[in-house]
C-alpha cells in the first residue's frame, strides 16, 4: 500500500484506504477510540476504512476487510436483500439505529444496530458511504431477561391485569379446584388452560380439550362420556369418551355456555360425585379428572336468563379467571408481534426483521376484535407477502390496509398536544388508576400526577367522556 493511497500519510496504517475524502491523523485517532464500529465504502461498495471497534465486533482484521465488498465482510441479515447502506447510497436518505444481525468470523450471530450516511467530496459529489454499528449483545441479553419477566408458560403480557394473574397462577395450578376462564374469543383461554395443566400435579397426565359449542347435543354427550356397543344406531362397538381419555389429567371444556340444559345435568353429577356412565351403560365409572371450563359469554348473565343452571355455575365457578381483550392491553402488542415473528421465522425459515414503524402504528391503532388470534393471523398473512426485511403496511390484511389509507397523521400538532392525548388514553385504558397508568407509560407516578395537573386532565370524568379537541397554546 503506497503513501498516495493512505490519506493519513502513514503507509504503515493498514486500516484505511482512500475513500475519496481526506482523513487526517486526529480523525483516525477519534474513530479508533470510540466503541462503535465504523467502516466506509467507495461507490462500488468496497471497504475503504475499518476502525478498531469494527475489527473487534466482526473479529475480522482491517487488512482483511479493506478492498473487499462490504457484504463479504459484514455478512448482515440484510446484506443481500435489504442492504441499508445501498438504500442510503441510492436514495440519499440516512438510516438511523436499524436493528440487524451479522455473522462474525467465528460464525456467531451478533445483534447490532446500524446507522448510515453518504460520503461526499468537497464538490458535493457522492463518493461512498459510511456505516456505524453498535454491538447489542448485552442489550439483547437484557431484553431476553426482561422478556422472561413478561412470560408465564406460553402466555406473554406486561399489562398490569395480566401480571396480577401471573402472580396467582402457580397456586391455582397446584389446587384441584375447578377453574372457569372467561374472556372474548381469541384471548387465549386454551393457552391459559394448558399453562395451568403444565404447572399442576397432573402435568404428566393428558390434557384433553373439547369445544362444547362445535357439536350438537347428542354427539357432545357421546364425545364426553363415551358409549357402549348398541347404545344408538351405528354404535357397533364401544368407544371411550373425553372423560376417559383425560383420566389422571385435565379436561378442558371450551365454550361451556353453549351446553344444553339436559347435558348440564350430567355435567353437574360428574362435578359433584366424580362419576359418570357412558351412553347405553348402567355401570358408573370414576372420573379422576380436573375440569377447566371456559366461555366467551357471561355465565352469570346466562344464569339470570335461565339458560345456564345456577347449581352448575357455582360448581364450575370455584375459581374465576378473566382474560382482558387485546384492546385493553395494547402495551402487549409489540411483545406479541415479536413473539409471532420469531415463531414464523423458525417455522418458515425466513429472516423477517419485524414491523416497520408504519405497520406498527397500524397495529397499535387497531381495536383487534379477534384479539390475539386475529393478531397472529395478521402476522401470518404478512409472512406470505413479505419475503424478507421489514413488514410494511402493504403486507398486511386488506382490512388493516384500509385503516392505513384512512389514517390522518397528526400534522400541525405540538409534542405537548400529542403527549396530552396519549396520557388521557392511557388513563382511560387503566380506568384512571394512576399507578397502572404510570407503569404503562413508563414514568414515575409523581411525574404522571404533575402532567395530569399541567394538562388539566383532572376535569375529565373517569369514564364516559370523550377527549375534547386539543387546544393550541
Residues 6+ positions from 221 with CB-CB distance below 8 Å? 263, 266, 279
Return the H-helix or E-strand segment holding 38.
Answer: strand 37-42
Q: Which residues of 136-164 are buried (b: 16+ CB within 10 A; e: fewer)?
A: beeebeeeeeeeeebebbebbbbbbebee
Query: Tell me: the pLDDT tens digits for 372-398?
Result: 999 999 999 999 998 877 888 899 998
Report field, pTM of the whole predicted structure over 0.75: no
The size of the chain, in residues, is 473
Q: Provide the grid cell at 113.
A: 444496530
Distances (CA, A) of 61 to 5, 33, 49, 65, 430: 19, 16, 11, 7, 54
The CA angle 112-114-120, to the nearest 5 degrees, is 155
Comparing 173-187, 339-353, 421-435, the range with the smallest average pLDDT is: 421-435
pLDDT band at 242 (very low <50, low <70, confident <90, very high): very high
Q: Quote the CA–CA distance of 292 and 254 in Å, as a whole number.
A: 8
Q: Provide the grid cell at 227.
A: 358409549
Q: Quote the CA–CA distance of 398 and 382 in Å, as a whole number.
A: 11
**Span 273-288, average pLDDT:** 88
- DSSP conformational letter for 113: E
CB atoms near residue 292 (< 10 Å): 30
Comparing 14-28, 149-163, 208-222, the range with the smallest average pLDDT is: 14-28
pLDDT band at 147 (very low <50, low <70, confident <90, very high): low
Q: What percent of the chain has pLDDT over 70?
A: 84
Closest CA to 455 of 435, 439, 471: 471
Give yes or no for residue 253 having a pLDDT over 90. Answer: yes
Burial class (CB in 10 A: 0-12, 13-18, 19+), 234: exposed
Return the H-helix or E-strand segment holding 292.
Answer: strand 290-295
Query: Tell me: the pLDDT tens digits for 304-334?
Result: 999 999 999 999 999 999 999 999 898 899 8
pLDDT band at 194 (very low <50, low <70, confident <90, very high): very high
The secondary structure of 48-62 as a DSSP string is EEE-HHHHHHHT--H
Q: Quote the CA–CA distance of 232 and 369 in Å, as a whole number.
A: 41
Closest CA to 389 of 339, 360, 354: 354
Q: Quote the CA–CA distance of 447 and 430 in Å, as a whole number.
A: 17
Q: Report all structural domains of the chain as residue ranges with CATH numbers, in order of start.
A: 3-137 (3.30.450.20), 150-324 (3.40.50.300), 327-406 (1.10.8.60)
Amino acid at each position: 500500500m503506497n503513501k498516495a493511497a493512505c490519506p493519513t500519510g502513514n503507509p504503515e496504517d493498514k486500516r484505511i484506504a482512500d475513500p475519496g475524502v481526506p482523513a487526517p491523523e486526529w480523525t483516525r485517532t477519534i474513530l479508533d477510540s470510540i466503541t462503535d464500529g465504523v467502516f466506509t465504502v467507495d461507490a462500488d461498495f468496497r471497504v475503504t476504512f475499518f476502525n478498531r471497534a469494527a475489527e473487534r465486533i466482526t473479529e475480522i482484521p482491517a487488512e482483511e476487510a479493506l478492498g473487499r465488498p462490504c457484504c463479504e465482510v459484514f455478512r448482515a441479515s440484510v446484506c443481500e436483500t435489504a442492504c441499508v447502506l445501498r438504500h442510503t447510497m441510492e436514495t440519499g436518505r440516512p438510516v438511523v439505529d436499524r436493528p440487524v444481525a451479522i455473522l462474525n468470523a467465528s460464525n456467531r450471530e451478533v445483534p447490532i444496530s446500524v446507522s448510515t450516511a453518504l460520503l461526499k467530496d468537497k464538490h458535493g459529489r457522492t463518493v461512498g458511504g459510511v456505516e456505524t454499528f453498535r454491538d447489542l449483545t448485552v442489550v439483547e441479553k437484557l431484553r431476553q431477561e426482561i422478556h422472561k419477566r413478561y412470560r408465564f408458560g406460553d402466555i406473554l403480557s406486561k399489562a398490569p391485569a395480566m401480571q396480577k394473574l401471573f402472580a396467582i397462577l402457580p397456586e391455582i395450578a397446584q389446587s384441584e379446584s375447578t377453574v372457569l376462564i372467561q374472556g372474548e374469543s381469541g384471548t387465549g383461554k386454551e393457552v391459559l388452560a394448558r399453562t395451568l395443566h403444565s404447572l399442576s400435579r397432573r402435568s404428566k397426565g393428558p390434557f384433553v380439550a373439547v369445544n362444547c359449542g362445535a357439536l350438537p347435543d347428542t354427539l357432545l354427550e357421546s364425545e364426553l362420556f363415551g358409549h357402549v356397543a348398541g347404545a344408538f344406531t351405528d354404535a357397533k362397538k364401544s368407544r371411550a369418551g373425553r372423560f376417559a381419555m383425560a383420566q389422571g389429567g385435565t379436561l378442558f371444556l371450551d365454550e361451556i355456555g353453549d351446553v344444553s340444559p339436559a347435558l348440564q345435568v350430567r355435567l353437574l353429577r360428574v362435578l359433584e360425585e366424580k362419576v359418570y356412565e357412558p351412553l347405553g351403560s348402567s355401570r358408573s365409572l370414576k372420573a379422576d379428572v380436573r375440569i377447566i371450563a371456559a366461555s366467551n359469554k357471561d355465565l352469570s348473565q346466562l344464569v339470570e336468563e335461565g339458560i345456564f343452571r345456577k347449581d352448575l355455575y357455582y360448581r364450575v365457578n370455584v375459581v374465576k379467571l378473566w382474560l382482558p381483550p387485546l384492546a385493553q392491553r395494547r402495551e402487549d402488542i409489540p411483545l406479541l408481534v415479536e413473539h409471532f415473528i420469531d415463531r414464523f421465522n423458525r417455522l418458515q425459515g425466513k429472516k423477517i426483521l419485524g414491523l416497520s414503524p408504519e405497520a406498527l402504528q397500524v397495529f397499535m391503532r387497531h381495536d383487534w376484535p379477534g384479539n390475539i388470534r386475529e393478531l397472529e393471523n395478521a402476522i401470518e398473512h404478512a409472512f406470505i407477502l413479505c419475503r424478507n426485511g421489514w413488514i410494511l403496511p402493504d403486507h398486511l390484511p386488506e382490512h388493516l390496509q384500509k385503516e392505513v389509507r384512512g389514517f390522518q397523521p397528526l400534522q400541525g400538532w405540538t409534542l405537548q398536544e400529542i403527549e396530552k392525548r396519549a396520557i388521557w388514553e392511557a388513563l382511560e385504558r387503566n380506568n384512571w388508576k394512576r399507578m397502572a397508568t404510570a407503569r404503562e407509560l413508563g414514568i414515575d407516578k409523581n411525574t404522571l400526577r404533575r402532567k395530569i395537573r399541567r394538562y388539566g386532565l383532572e376535569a375529565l370524568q373517569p369514564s364516559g367522556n370523550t377527549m375534547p379537541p386539543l387546544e393550541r397554546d
